[in-house]
Amino acid sequence: MADMRDRITGDENAFQKLAEAIPGFDGYREREIRRTADRLLRDHLAKLLDATRGKLEKLMRDCGTAEVELTSKIGRTQRRMTTLHDRIDHASYGYTGFFDAVKIGEEELDRMYDYDMSLMQHIADMDVTVAELAAADSAGYDELLPELEAQMDYFEQMLDDRDEVISSVVPGDA
């Protein structure tokens, strides 16, 4: 996936380029670009999680009532993935606005963006496991469902760590 920051700056219009001449505006605009990129990235991550969750829902429907225990396990996993999706979708920016007393530098904003980019690989890993679940027989479920749960545990820990990353980039108790 292309870096959203490059995509946003490539779509600038003449007015935005003219505004660069305003003293202090360029730094503000850079922070806004990073905020927008973060939002676009998190929207993309949420869509990836939605697609994986959709595959789990299909698998649950395919199991039907014949395998009630398995359907229940898949349903719990699917609901947990919904929770992960919501955490990504409603995650804190960790960024300050133009008039806020606390200013976060470009380096810290980049660190947040890079951290969010790293989440994409973990979603891809979960998606692969769900695809393997869909192709497996009932014996494979006993191995793959715990693997998916472990991947979700790790992803959840990464989301918890993200909160710490945000805290580490916000200076003091402004």
Domain segments of the chain as ranges: 4-169
Q: Which residue has the tokens 């976060």?
A: 104
CATH 3.40.50 fits 4-169, yes or no: no
Alpha-carbon distance of 151 to 98, in angstroms, equals 38
Distance of CA 115 to the CA centre of its chain: 9
Highest mean pLDDT among 60-69, 133-142, 146-155: 146-155
pLDDT digits (tens, 9 = 90+) for 103-115: 666 777 777 778 8
Alpha-carbon distance of 62 to 160, in angstroms, equals 33
User: What residues contact 99, with CB distance under 8 A and at least 6 apart?
Assistant: none
Does the global pTM surpass 0.85? no
